Structure 1
Amino acid sequence: MATRQTPPFRTVVDSRVESVHTVRAGAADGGRVRLTAYDLLTGPWYTPLTFFYRKTLDGPALRASLARTLLRYPPLSGRLRRDADGGLSVLCNDAGVRFTEASCPDPMREYGHGLRAQPVNGDLLREVSPFGVVDRDAPLLKVRLTQMRGGGSVLGVLISHSLADGGSTLAFLENWSREHLGLPWQEPSHDRGALEALGRMSDDPATREGRVFAGVGRMRYLLSTLRPGLRRRATVTTRFEAAELAAMKSEALGALTDPGAWVSTNDVLAAHLWRVLSELRGHPDEAAQWLGLVVGAQSVLGGALPSSYWGNCVSKSWTSLPAGELRARPLGAVAGEVRRCLRSNTEDKLRDEIAFLGAYRRRGVSRHVMAVHALDMRETSLSVNNWSRFPLYRIDLGAGQPFWYEFPDLPVPTVHVTPTPEEDGGRDVYLCLSEPHAALARTGPWQERLHPHAVSSRVG
């Protein structure tokens, strides 16, 4: 009797290089943009994003519009340089970005939840390596356009995380799209000093005690950096329809008892995933389950920072519950804990964080700052990064909107939330877990637990 084979987590797109171009803005002032302490937290890694288009993109036209867009993004066509105090700056010398054109002998397939693809960026391990980036002629933006047989294109984008967080990366891509289509777009602000000027140590002992970053010794820093690579991870995707999310939120709101209490749809989704994945990982009742929420600082700092600020401006907040209590609490109560955790990101907390990180950079030891939970909670923690309001499916570069998007496997357990291609109020969720847990999450019983309010489950 034949054994049913489990499909792989991802398929490989056989992409073969046809030509490599250097795209430049055509203007450079040779100035330096000194990166902030938030920028330095990421390390010189690259963030790979991949977009799938049913129609074929025009390579020469893309390079031309990219060159025009780079005129307003001089750091992207520059090079990273080490400062005397150990920090980093971008030399805005218009050394250029790399634009690779490739071809695939296969036709475009129906990529999506049922058929995942590796990020199409070429040799991914070589492309995203942080070694050989600083003080080298290493492009900070790399684009790979793969043309599929019979029509359709795959656009892979690698951008240095030292330059931009997720929001800024998508802002650049949306502006490139608008430039390509001849639409107006807002000038980005590269004034890193505007963020640093907001730093102010808090007078509140609780704020100082609850800092999510800490200075550590060299060995602890190296251990926290190397440990994530010791365990292989895989990503499972699944879709939560708008009606399903509405039913979950209705259940959660019905369980709230405090006058005026409220939770958002994203609070409820994060709470639900936290509960289910805690159960899937099978920790004992007394084990602390940590939830980390990635938060854009811009929304908290408000008018104190230009709305067009471009760089890394992301913080994090943490909360925890014992595994048994997390699984037993009503959904509304867990969503309320998520909301409370988000509200802990006050302006005072963020100003204190900017000042604290800046102090380490001024002492030349910024590379020894890390998140307080980075070392000990790899398998009892879950990080939630919500991109549901980002314009992922509005990156139209002359061939319509993409029909699918791929995100890389990350070194820590992560929930990555995005809009659906139809932007219909649903959410696509990427669950990056250890390979055994990811395999378990793909099975029917666990898909049913992930989707208790859905008529049918979506398996990644």
Structure 2
Amino acid sequence: MGRGETPRFRTVVDSRVESVHTVRAGTAGGGRVRLTAYDLLTGPWYTPLTFFYRGTLDGGALRSSLARTLRRYPPLAGRLERDADGGLSVRCNDAGVRFTEASSCDPMRAYGHRLRAQPVIGDVVREVSPFGVVGRDTPLLKIRLTRMRGGGSVLGVLISHSLADGGSALAFLENWSREHLGLSWEEPSHDRGALDALGRLSDDPATRDGRAFVGVGRTRHLLTTLRPGLRKRATVTTRFEAAELAAMKTRALGELAELTEADPDAWVSTNDVLTAHLWRALAELRAHPAEAVQWLGLVVGARSGLGGALPSSYWGNCVSKSWTSLPAGDLRGRSLGAVAGEVRGCLRNNTEDKLRDEIAFLGSYRRRGVSRHVMSAHALDASEMSLTVNNWSRFPIYRIDLGAGRPFWYEFPDLPAPTAHITPTPDEDGGRDVYLCLSEPHAAQVRTGRWQERLHPHAVSGRAG
């Protein structure tokens, strides 16, 4: 790359639309599903997920199995409507899902860490404006199947974030896979009232003061939402092998034991250690002054914290966030074990009392018709002073078999704020793939040999991921 050139972080796959179909379940008996306050937090945006297959997928067979799957997922074939109090509901009218088939004159390439592609092939993202969804005949699920010359397929999935968090989106895709293969799968629960009923304001002042969400005025909400988009971001990936993670965890546990002596609760998980390592490395990359506060936001699933009060098959948004912070100098100077302990402590704050209080707090804004004024408590820090970590390492990303084997690669979109997206590897061998979404200059630095070595000091083979 020459001086002054813009680095290329992704390749573009050209494709041509061949046909567009509307896939319906064949029944419209789902009524209306009123979305929860957790659902309303996301706004009417879509989550694009892209899966790359070496085999060729059969579009007709996919549409048939998708129609059968939609019978148990009526919201996905429905349409969003505004409620009288400003909330949202899904009218389960079986208006349908858009399924586009396309072809590419290019062969399937060896996509992966060193060769990235756009997260959705073709114009699928541009086809959906988040401002033209509510009260319109706009599909809440779009599928685009692109066949490559000589074999291989790319499956782009665009799903309304108002309906599902990442775990629920992947659960739907895994169930579609099981339906396609003729396997049994669990009926999802669309009873959003089950989550709303769990709301209970906390009696603990510290819990109330530490809420992950706050109510703000319309102007502040708009400015805070738009500000991250002013900086161009790019995503780079790197792989942490299982042996490398084991070495990191052994070191961290040893350091933590020295700090906490005989504390029986002094334990950290592999993901805690990886998160701590990424947070420290990013603090070094950014080189902020020692006193500058560095924020870490952890996206956490609320289901486990609610103590089994929700059905295991609950389908929707059920995600909270926990925050912690350290001065940049402290973060760079602390041991890996000490920072991993900070991460674990942040996760432990996600108690049942905190989650029930959060549900009640968010519900109160919905009842007053001002849900759109609620945002993350540290959204104003969603800048170069923060890192949000979203851990998908237990999700079935590489088990979405739709008749052509499992995918060999998966792409995730660039996000408006600095984010570390953690996933399993294609081999599901205990390693982790990390998608780091950073400002373009920082992303370019991370791709250099020096920074790959900095990210992988515990690589057993001595090779950066």
**TM-score scaled to structure 1, two decimals?**
0.98
Aligned residue for 2:355? 350
Aligned residue for 1:46? 46
SS of residue matched to 1:274 = helix
Residue type at the aligned position of 1:334: V
Identity of aligned residues (%): 83
Q: Are 2:23 and 1:23 aligned? A: yes
Aligned residue for 1:159? 159
The answer to whether the 8 A contact 1:10-1:117 is kept is yes
Counterparts of 1:189 and 1:458, CA distance in 2: 43
Counterparts of 1:160 and 1:45, CA distance in 2: 6
Residue 212 of structure 1 and its aligned partner are, at CA, apart by 1.1
Counterparts of 2:327 and 2:295, CA distance in 1: 9
Aligned residue for 1:55? 55
Alignment equivalent of 1:339, drawn from 341, 344, 348: 344
Counterparts of 2:242 and 2:30, CA distance in 1: 49
The answer to whether the 8 A contact 1:13-1:120 is kept is no
Aligned residue for 1:126? 126
- Runs of 5+ consecutive residues of structure 1 not aligned to the other structure: none
Pairs within 5 Å for 1:20-419: 20-29=20-29, 31-257=31-257, 258=260, 259=262, 260=264, 261-419=266-424
Residue 269 of structure 1 and its aligned partner are, at CA, apart by 0.1
The answer to whether the 8 A contact 2:13-2:122 is kept is no
- Runs of 5+ consecutive residues of structure 2 not aligned to the other structure: none
Cα deviations by residue, 1:232-285 (Å, 9 ceiling, x for unpaired): 100000000000000000100010132221100000000000000111011110
Residue type at the aligned position of 1:35: L
Counterparts of 1:359 and 1:98, CA distance in 2: 35
SS of residue matched to 1:75 = helix
Residue 131 of structure 1 and its aligned partner are, at CA, apart by 1.2
The answer to whether the 8 A contact 1:45-1:130 is kept is yes
Cα deviations by residue, 1:337-370 (Å, 9 ceiling, x for unpaired): 0000000000000000000000000000000000
Counterparts of 1:224 and 1:299, CA distance in 2: 30
Report the number of matched residues.
459
The answer to whether the 8 A contact 1:293-1:383 is kept is yes
Alignment equivalent of 2:431, drawn from 409, 426, 434: 426
Residue type at the aligned position of 1:361: R
Q: Are 2:441 and 1:436 aligned? A: yes
SS of residue matched to 1:256 = helix
Residue 4 of structure 1 and its aligned partner are, at CA, apart by 12
Q: Which moved more, 1:346-355 or 1:293-302?
A: 293-302
Residue type at the aligned position of 2:83: D
Task: Specify whether residues 250 and 36 from structure 1 end up closer, same or farther in structure 2 by C-alpha distance, changes over 3 A only.
Answer: same
Counterparts of 1:93 and 1:159, CA distance in 2: 17
Task: Specify whether residues 341 and 30 from structure 1 end up closer, same or farther in structure 2 by C-alpha distance, changes over 3 A only.
Answer: closer
SS of residue matched to 1:106 = strand
The answer to whether the 8 A contact 1:121-1:127 is kept is no
Cα deviations by residue, 1:326-345 (Å, 9 ceiling, x for unpaired): 01101000000000000000
Residue type at the aligned position of 1:344: N
The answer to whether the 8 A contact 1:223-1:375 is kept is no
Task: Specify whether residues 458 and 8 from structure 1 end up closer, same or farther in structure 2 by C-alpha distance, changes over 3 A only.
Answer: farther
Counterparts of 1:129 and 1:15, CA distance in 2: 21
Residue 377 of structure 1 and its aligned partner are, at CA, apart by 3.8
Residue 120 of structure 1 and its aligned partner are, at CA, apart by 2.4
The answer to whether the 8 A contact 1:47-1:158 is kept is yes
Task: Specify whether residues 425 and 170 from structure 1 end up closer, same or farther in structure 2 by C-alpha distance, changes over 3 A only.
Answer: same
Residue type at the aligned position of 1:273: L
Residue 128 of structure 1 and its aligned partner are, at CA, apart by 4.3
SS of residue matched to 1:303 = coil
Query: What's the Cα RMSD here?
Result: 1.5
